[in-house]
């Protein structure tokens, strides 16, 4: 007789360092995405005691190679699992390089109804003091906690719980590489128990109601998703890179200096892009802060949008989804300011 209290968690594996293997424990060099989902589970003592787990291998990539095609499969598969009455939560193992992008994409394209936890590791599975097993253990514990559903897909790294919108990989190495620079973490996992941060408060839990996906991409093959490119700004940047990007894309995100700015040459290129119908969003390369409209740039006159709190990589995703949905610049700007 199955225990009705016992949670049933689906694990979707995509690769990454959490599944990475070295040739020797001492080697710095390793290959991401070597181990299977079953190998990962077998490496975590006590995992089976936490929940009933089923696992599927969705991809085996280093997340620097994450693709829209894998995102489409993840969105479709996770949506199906969330609708399954026999599944209480979903854990997605993922490389850390683009973890924040996949989490944000899923936050826009999944219903928020049951816990979805994305988890990675900074050290390969074969390393001394690998961080993957503890992260995976906590991710399963979190996915088995109903209250985690109220934040949509969350990221669990190094004891910390982060919202998909705010989380960022802030360092190239080290187990404490993740933070939410604009909003702080949502909480921590202590043992198997999530402890929500004071700013989150218990009242939100009481008001949580399941919400439908903001964007449903299941009817759109990934090769039909609008192309949005990111242009990185720096001293003496020229406008020709913008013209080239504008010729092949429907959207451009500026990873601008400061409050989303760039040289006059790049700004002129962006104005030319708007004139040919390309949607332009100004974001900041600084790593945190709000990019507001009409401060040092006259967005109203130039036809630009401001990214608000979103970093350039996430601004690319929101712009792509809004363009796919055929939204007007006014509606898109509203979506950024609310994100
Ligand atoms: N390059 C790896 C990846 O993103 C790094 C990691 O997982 O930590 O897959």
In a shared domain, residues 183 and 281: no
Q: Cβ(126) to ligand 1 under 6 A?
A: no
Q: Are residues 171 and 296 in the same domain?
A: no
pTM of the shown model: 0.96
| Contact of 165 with 152, CB cutoff 8 Å | no
Tell me: pLDDT of 140 over 70: yes
In a domain, residue 220? The reply is no
Domain CATH code at residue 290: 3.40.50.40
**pLDDT for position 1:** 60
Looking at per-residue confidence, does 286 or 5 come out higher? 286
**Domain presence at residue 3:** no
Instruction: Assess whether 17 carries a catalytic annotation.
Output: yes
Quote the percentage of the chain above a pLDDT of 70.
98
Same domain for 297 and 164: no
What are the residues whose beta carbons fall under 8 Å from the beta carbon of 77, sequence distance 6 or more?
12, 56, 58
Mean pLDDT of the 106-117 span? 97
Asked if the structure places residue 19 within a domain, the reply is yes
- With CA atoms as reference, report the closest residue to 17 among 91, 95, 101: 95
Check if 166 has its Cβ closer than 6 Å to any atom of ligand 1: no
Residue 246 falls inside a structural domain: yes
Strands 193-196, 187-190: pairing is antiparallel
Ligand 1 pocket: which of 58, 118, 120, 122 to mutate (most atoms within 8 A of CB): 120
The domain boundary residue, chosen from 173, 205, 237: 205
The answer to whether 17 touches 121, Cβ cutoff 8 Å, is: yes
Our answer on whether the CB atom of 135 is closer than 6 Å to any ligand 1 atom is no
- Ligand 1 geometric centre to CA of 16 (Å): 5
Does the residue 215 lie in any domain?
A: no
Going by alpha carbons, the residue nearest to atom 1 of ligand 1 is 62
Please say if the pLDDT value at position 207 is more than 70.
no
124 Cβ below 6 A of ligand 1:
no
Q: Is there a single domain that holds both residue 152 and residue 201?
A: yes
CA distance readout (Å), 27 to 22, 126, 172, 269: 6, 10, 17, 46
pLDDT number for residue 310: 98
DSSP at 221: -
Q: Which two tokens stand for residue 301?
A: 């006159």
Taking 80 as the threshold, does the pLDDT of residue 209 lie above it? no
- pLDDT confidence bin for 19, thresholds 50/70/90: confident
Which of 174, 205, 236 represents a domain boundary (last residue)? 205
Is 122 close to ligand 1, i.e. is its CB under 6 Å away? yes
Helices (H) and strands (E) in the chain, counts: 11, 16
Residue 82 domain-assigned (yes or no): yes
Q: Are 175 and 158 in contact (CB under 8 A)?
A: yes
Per-residue pLDDT of 181-197, as tens digits, reads: 999 999 999 989 999 99
Q: Is the pLDDT of residue 68 over 90?
A: yes
Compute the distance between CA of residue 8 and CA of residue 23 in angstroms, rounded to an integer: 35
Same structural domain for residues 196 and 236? no
Mean pLDDT of 308-321: 98
pLDDT of residue 56: 95
* Residue range(s) defining the domain that contains residue 93: 8-205
Q: Which of 70, 97, 99, 135 best tests ligand 1's pocket when mutated (most atoms within 8 Å of CB)?
A: 97
CA of 32 to the centre of ligand 1 (A): 6
Confidence of residue 2 (pLDDT cuts 50, 70, 90): low
The yes-or-no verdict on residue 290 having pLDDT over 80 is yes
Question: What separation in Å is there between the alpha carbon of 153 and the centre of ligand 1?
Answer: 19
Can you tell me which residue has the tokens 């005691």?
49
What is the pLDDT confidence band of residue 165, given thresholds at 50, 70 and 90? very high
Give the sign of the dihedral formed by CA 193, CA 130, CA 174, CA 313.
negative
Q: Give how many domains the chain has, as a whole number.
A: 2
Q: Is the CB of 96 under 6 A from ligand 1?
A: yes
Render 6-57 in DSSP notation, one character per residue: S-EEEEEEEESGGG-EESSTT-S-EETT-S-HHHHHHTSTTHHHH-EEEEEE
Query: Mean of the pLDDT values across residues 85-89?
Result: 98
């Amino acid at each position: 007789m199955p225990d009705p209290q016992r949670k049933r968690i689906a694990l979707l594996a995509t690769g990454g360092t959490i599944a990475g293997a070295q040739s020797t424990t001492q080697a710095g060099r390793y290959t991401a995405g070597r181990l299977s989902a079953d190998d990962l589970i077998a490496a975590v003592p006590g995992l089976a005691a936490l929940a009933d787990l089923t696992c599927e291998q969705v991809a085996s990539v280093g997340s620097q190679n994450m693709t829209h095609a894998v995102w489409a499969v993840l969105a479709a598969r996770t949506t199906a699992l969330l609708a399954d009455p026999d599944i209480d939560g979903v854990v997605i193992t993922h490389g850390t390089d683009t973890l924040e992008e996949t989490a944000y994409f899923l936050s826009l394209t999944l219903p928020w109804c049951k816990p979805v936890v994305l988890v990675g590791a900074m050290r390969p599975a074969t390393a001394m003091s690998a961080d993957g097993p503890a992260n995976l253990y906590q991710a399963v514990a979190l996915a088995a906690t109903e209250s985690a559903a109220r934040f949509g897909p969350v990221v669990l790294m190094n004891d910390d719980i982060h919202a998909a919108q705010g989380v960022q990989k802030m360092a190239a190495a080290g187990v404490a590489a993740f933070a939410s620079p604009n909003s702080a973490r949502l909480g921590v996992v202590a043992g198997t128990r999530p402890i929500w941060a004071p700013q989150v408060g218990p009242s939100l839990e009481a008001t949580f109601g399941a919400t439908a996906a903001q964007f449903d991409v299941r009817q759109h093959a990934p090769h039909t998703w609008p192309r949005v490119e990111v242009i990185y700004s720096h001293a003496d940047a020229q406008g020709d890179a913008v013209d080239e990007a504008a010729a092949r894309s429907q959207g451009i995100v500026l990873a601008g200096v400061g409050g989303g700015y760039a040289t006059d040459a790049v700004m002129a290129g962006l104005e030319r892009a708007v004139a040919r119908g390309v949607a332009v969003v100004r974001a900041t390369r600084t790593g945190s802060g709000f990019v507001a409209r009409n401060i040092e740039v006259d967005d109203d006159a130039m036809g630009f949008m401001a990214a608000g709190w979103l970093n350039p990589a996430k601004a690319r995703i929101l712009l792509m989804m809004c363009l796919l949905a055929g939204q007007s610049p006014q509606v898109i700007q509203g979506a950024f300011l609310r994100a």
